[in-house]
Structure 1
Amino acid sequence: MGVRECCATFLAGLPNPALPFLPALVMGTSFAAFFLFMFYKKYTNLPVKVILIHMLKKIFYLLPTHDHSESETCKNPGCVRCKKYEELKTQIVQKMKEIRANKPEFISQQLEDAVKKIEYESSPFSKCELDDEPKKKKSNLELQKPTLFYMELAANPYWNDFEVYKKELGFLKLNFSIILKDFMSVFNALKNGDNWGWKLNDIDNGHWCIFPFIDQGRMNKSNSQRCPNVSAILEALPSLMKDCVFGNACFSILYPDSHIEPHHGPSNVRLRCHLGLNIPDGCWLEVAGTQYKWKKEETVLFDDSFEHSATFVNQSSSSQATPRAVLLVDFWHPDITSQEKEVLLELLAP
């Protein structure tokens, strides 16, 4: 078939210009959808059912702008977050020089070792074996591997069984209904097409969105104004990690048929808390090989510098497809002293 015949065949399949608008719109949309479907199937080689699910999600869920998670497996060479972490290493080294000169008494051995490791990795000798290279302790089958900043601190994948931050966790649970009300307000707006303030984290399988109140240490004022009660609750948490590039607080939603691949957080100077807001069946968190199933109105406290992942298997009925939703809050590691925190706030300023 030549070009002319091909074009004639294509044009013959288009709606008649004389048709009324509505039938023409339906026919044209159906025609375009069919060709898009065929191209998508040829490109992805996915089963028809999976393609239809993906297309329906794109139609019925208006998802926000892409951002990627803190996974060390980012495939985007121009990623702003990855570039920022490289800049942060330089900032840490430069700030530490100033602190060594002006207030050396504030520097603990753990902090000194943590920065020396970054200095070593940034030096031209980093590929050589040096005797004085700071060594990292092995723990839990070497599953604790923070990607950027490591201090010698107590290491546990889960912290719920330890007497830490009981008041903060209890305070979050006490205010569950207030937090849930704020969440439903912005989530219902998202379902109705208002994606203002939401970010889409880049994962290979499915969709993972966040509505940040603290994003890498910086307060998101517009989101806080939309959820004033949550903002006030966060401000009342004395151990909340803010003004630090590793600190985050957000609503986090994971859609059905999604999987966040195993990865490590950037540092062990924080502990991460999830408060379950909406927990359908078939979703769980896994840290250092141990699964935890979220529960509504319950908190889980874990160290995300350990290898961790999240999964939400597909639900049987698309009409009942609701995302897993949690309030995510980062706290300072309880072993960090007030003096160390003061230094870290300088080293890790956002």
Structure 2
Amino acid sequence: MSLEWLICWSGSLDRLRDFIGTGIQSVRDCNTAALGTVAFLLAMFVWYCYHIGREQPRAYVSVNSLMQGGDLNSLQNGYAHCHSPECMRCAHNDGLNQKLYHNLQEYAKRYSWSGMGRIHKGIREQGRYLSSRPSIQKPEVFFLPDLPTTPYFSREAQKHDVELLERNFPTILCEFEALYKAFSNCSLPQGWKVNSSPSGEWLTFFLVNQGMCVPRNCRKCPRTYRLLGSLRTCVGNNVFGNACISVLTPGTVIAEHYGPTNIRIRCHLGLKTPSNCELVVGGEPQCWAEGRCLLFDDSFLHTAFHGGPPDEGPRVIFMVDLWHPNVAAAERQALDFIFAPGR
């Protein structure tokens, strides 16, 4: 038995020696230039991964910080900013891009850098992007590069959510009418917010405000709030996500302004649409229609007005923010992390 084992072991060593010798000869016969190219590409890949993880974003002066001086501190194109420290859009934060880059690095450590190219590029070059954008589109907080831009989107962009909202038009309208009855008892019922406008009254009733649920308001519109959970592309987990009822009284004009980002598209579902009411985005006017959704990119310069007679009542829409259709799933997850409320 021992002799047979020794013979087998000796044969195995011979085969191993032949295998190693063949491998060495193959390397010697291989094209030296090809090996050098492969080694160089491998070294470049390792360097790139290290560079991405260590690079800091370039400093820039944010759009909001430029507004700190003079009258621009409270008014831009007639549009007032709230200056709330909790407001991602209105708070003046010179170190915003550093904070965003820190959040991106933290996300990548927990998950992956895969698919983060556009976000990394956007944070690193944010100042250049915002300063070089044409005046028709200037998001105030974050610009994601290489997204198709257009003032209005077709219904097909988010077909499922558009159709779901329109099917539930009677439900949303019913809950709004129950809310609006309270106006007969007091000037401004609890939960409603008055927004700045050059003329008239612009009122909003938020169910979700900058990614945060408003529990008291949601309890007053339970079916509408539950509907938000059925939307596939609702921006509900970061500060760019909102859902509210918006009311314009006759004679109201909303001054031209820009939204905070281009990663979302804003959806308006018409609830009450009197005559002579228009939304103008990027210089293109559109009218609302009851029971129909209107999709637009609010990072474009936009305004709205209600020029109808007083006896026709207010213009009312249900507004919800949806993801831009060209923001990938991995990017959505990362942006939810980077722009999480309170982060």
* Same topology, TM > 0.5: yes
SS of the counterpart of 1:105? coil
* 1:327/1:135 CA distance change after superposition, 3 Å: closer
Count of aligned pairs between the two proteins: 263
Correspondence 1:189 to 2:210: no
* 1:179/1:269 CA distance change after superposition, 3 Å: same
SS of the counterpart of 2:153? coil
* 1:178/1:100 CA distance change after superposition, 3 Å: closer
Residue 116 of structure 1: aligned partner:
124
* 1:257/1:137 CA distance change after superposition, 3 Å: same
* 1:261/1:171 CA distance change after superposition, 3 Å: same
* 1:102/1:225 CA distance change after superposition, 3 Å: closer
Q: Is the 8 A contact 2:265 2:322 kept in 1?
A: yes
Deviation at 1:105, TM superposition (A): 2.0
**How many percent of aligned residue pairs carry the same amino acid?**
30
Aligned amino acid, residue 124 of structure 2: K
Correspondence 1:260 to 2:268: no
Deviation at 1:183, TM superposition (A): 0.6
2-structure distance, mates of 1:226, 1:206 = 26
Report Cα offsets for 1:144-186 as digits up to 9, x if no partner.
Answer: 211110012111111026x211111111111111110001011
Alignment equivalent of 2:324, drawn from 333, 338, 341: 333
SS of the counterpart of 2:208? strand
SS of the counterpart of 2:174? helix
* 1:89/1:188 CA distance change after superposition, 3 Å: farther
Q: Is the 8 A contact 2:142 2:260 kept in 1?
A: yes
Deviation at 1:107, TM superposition (A): 4.7
Alignment equivalent of 1:172, drawn from 165, 190, 197: 165
* 1:247/1:71 CA distance change after superposition, 3 Å: farther
Residue 68 of structure 2: aligned partner:
none
Deviation at 1:75, TM superposition (A): 4.6
Q: Is the 8 A contact 1:198 1:210 kept in 2?
A: yes
SS of the counterpart of 1:195? coil
2-structure distance, mates of 1:349, 1:220 = 16
Rg: which structure is higher?
2
Residue 297 of structure 2: aligned partner:
303
Q: Is the 8 A contact 2:195 2:202 kept in 1?
A: yes
Q: Is the 8 A contact 1:106 1:343 kept in 2?
A: no
1-structure distance, mates of 2:207, 2:165 = 15
Q: Is the 8 A contact 1:284 1:312 kept in 2?
A: yes
Kindly report the root-mean-square deviation, in angstroms, between the aligned alpha carbons of the 2 structures: 2.6
Deviation at 1:96, TM superposition (A): 2.1
2-structure distance, mates of 1:262, 1:215 = 21
Show structure 1 runs of 5+ residues with no match: 1-68, 122-132
Alignment equivalent of 2:219, drawn from 219, 225, 233: 225
Report Cα offsets for 1:29-83 as digits up to 9, x if no partner.
Answer: xxxxxxxxxxxxxxxxxxxxxxxxxxxxxxxxxxxxxxxx997865568444355
TM-score, scaled to structure 1 = 0.69
Residue 286 of structure 2: aligned partner:
292
Aligned amino acid, residue 185 of structure 1: A
Show structure 2 runs of 5+ residues with no match: 1-73
TM-score, scaled to structure 2 = 0.70
Report Cα offsets for 1:273-294 as digits up to 9, x if no partner.
Answer: 0000011112110011110011
* 1:288/1:238 CA distance change after superposition, 3 Å: same
Aligned pairs for 1:1-350 (under 5 A) are: 74-75=79-80, 78-80=83-85, 81=87, 84=91, 86=93, 89=97, 91-118=99-126, 121=127, 142-152=135-145, 153-160=147-154, 163-193=156-186, 195-313=189-307, 315=309, 318=310, 320-350=311-341
Q: Is the 8 A contact 1:251 1:328 kept in 2?
A: yes
Deviation at 1:187, TM superposition (A): 1.1
Deviation at 1:143, TM superposition (A): 1.2
Deviation at 1:89, TM superposition (A): 4.7
1-structure distance, mates of 2:183, 2:97 = 36
* 1:329/1:134 CA distance change after superposition, 3 Å: closer
